Amino acid sequence: QVQLVESGGGLVQAGGSLRLSCAASGRTFSSYSMGWFRQAPGKDRDFVAAISWSGDSTYYADSVKGRFTITRDNAKNTVYLQMNSLKPEATAVYYCAADSEVYVLTTTAYEYDYWGQGTQVTVSS
């Protein structure tokens, strides 16, 4: 079992920045690839970014490429999502997730094994 707790969400103006954190506890954090997803009201949960167990490989949704950065610190059991140049359409609940498949990064939500409770990000125009 892995428990995930997100933090760092809030209200920011368009063009601003936020850094989300996801703290993990339970089984060995470095045994998991990690992902960030987001879900706006009435919409599906969409992939945002993923990072390999070592941090050497990352993958981003086209909509955030060049503006968002996913990193991890295995010593702190934490994964981060730095979000810059935020747009109003980024408003959503952001979730982190853990995937026990460490060799392949996936963008598919159902392939992730554990999820956090989410943190709200609101971008005002």
Residue 26: its pLDDT value, please?
78
Q: Is the pLDDT of residue 117 over 90?
A: yes
Mean pLDDT estimate for the chain: 95
Q: Is the pLDDT of residue 88 over 80?
A: yes
Residue 108: its pLDDT value, please?
94
In whole angstroms, what separates CA 29 from the centre of its chain? 15
Residue pLDDT, tens place only, 16-52: 999 999 999 977 888 899 999 999 999 999 999 999 9
Cα 106 to Cα 57, 60, 75, 87: the distances in Å are 12, 10, 23, 25
Residue 30: its pLDDT value, please?
86
Q: What distance, in Å, lies between the first and last C-alpha atoms of the chain?
A: 40
Q: Is the pLDDT of residue 102 over 80?
A: no
The bridge status of strand 10-13 relative to strand 119-124 is parallel
Three-state SS at 95: strand
